[in-house]
Amino acid sequence: MNNARQAVADLDGIRIAYDDHGSADHAATLFLHGFPLSASMWSGQLALADRHRLIIPDLRGHGQSAVTEGTVTMATMADDMAKLLDTLNIETVTVCGLSMGGYVAWEFWRRHRDRLAALILFDTRAVADTEEVRRGRQMMAAQVVSSGAEMAATSMLPKLMAKSTYEHRSSTVDAVRQMILATDPHGIAATQRGMSKRVDMTDSLSEIEVPTLVICGEEDSISPPDEMEGFANKMPNARFCRIEDAGHLAPLEQPASTNVFISDFLTNI
Ligand code: MLT
C-alpha cells in the first residue's frame, strides 16, 4: 500500500518539504535529487512504495524547501537530512542520491555513517571540481541571480539526457525544464557555490564498506560510465550497472529498468 504523505519539517528554523511514501514498517530509503531539480524527479520510483518506505525531500534551496542565500554546502544538506530523519524517528536509512544528491550522500557517509545502511549512487562523481569547473559555477551563480533560472535551464537542459529521451520523450524533457525553472535563483546560486567546495572522495572510497549500488546512464556525459565504474571498483562492497537509453537522469529517463535494479538491491541488503 502506498500511504503517501506530503509534509514540511521545521529543522531549526529551516523548512524542508518532503514526501513519505509506503509503510513505516518497511526499511526507509532517502532519495536525494540532482541539481537544480526537486523531489519530483523521483516520480518514476513511487512504484517501489508497495515494498519499501521512500522518504523524498526537496533539498534546501530547491522545490518547496527553504532557500538560504550565500553558500549551501553538501555537508549542510547532509545535516539537514540527518535532522529530517530525527523528526521522522528513523535511525538508519539507505541513501539514494543522483549527481548532487550523490555528493550529499558522500557527506552523509562522512558525517552520519552510523545511520547509513546502504548507498545507491546514480550518475554522480567522486572527484572534486577542477578550477575551471569552479569558475563556471561562480559564473552561473552570479548570472542566475541577475537574470533568473531560465539561463540555468538553457545551459543545462541539452546536456542532461540521452538522445532518445530528447527525440521520443518530450514530456520528460519538459518536466525537467519545469523543475529547473521552478527553482529559486538564490537556491541555484547558493548550491553552485556549495558544490564547488565539495570534498574529493577518491581517497575515502576504499573505506566505504556499506553495500553500494552504482548506476549510470550509458549516455551520461556529465558523470560518464567509465568514470563511475572506476570509482565503484575502488569501493569494497559496490556493484556497478549501466542503464541503456539514459543519460545523466537515468531514473527519470528509464524508471522501469532502474526500478528493477533498485528493488533487487533493496530486497537483498
Ligand atoms: C546534478 O545533476 O546534480 C549536477 O550535474 C551536479 C553538478 O553540477 O556537478
pLDDT tens digit at each of 269 positions of the chain: 445 568 999 999 999 999 999 999 999 999 999 999 999 999 999 999 999 999 999 999 999 999 999 999 999 999 999 999 999 999 999 999 999 999 999 999 999 999 999 999 999 999 999 999 999 999 999 999 999 999 999 999 999 999 999 999 999 999 999 999 999 999 999 999 999 999 999 999 999 999 999 999 999 999 999 999 999 999 999 999 999 999 999 999 999 999 999 999 999 99
Q: Is 203 helix (H, G, I), strand (E, B) or coil?
A: helix
CA 169 to CA 66: how far, in whole Å?
Answer: 31
- Is 100's C-beta closer than 6 angstroms to any atom of ligand 1? yes
This prediction's pTM = 0.98
Q: How many residues does the chain have?
A: 269
Helix (H), strand (E) counts: the chain? 10, 8
Q: Whose CA is nearest to atom 4 of ligand 1?
A: 35
Nearest ligand 1 atom to the CA of 123 is 2
If you measure from the C-alpha of residue 138 to the centroid of ligand 1, how many angstroms do you get, rounded to a whole number? 14
Cell numbers that stand for 17 in this block: 518539504
Is the CB of 34 within 6 Å of ligand 1?
A: yes
Q: Which of 31, 101, 48 is nearest to 261 (CA)?
A: 48
* Span from the CA of 204 to the centroid of ligand 1 (angstroms): 21
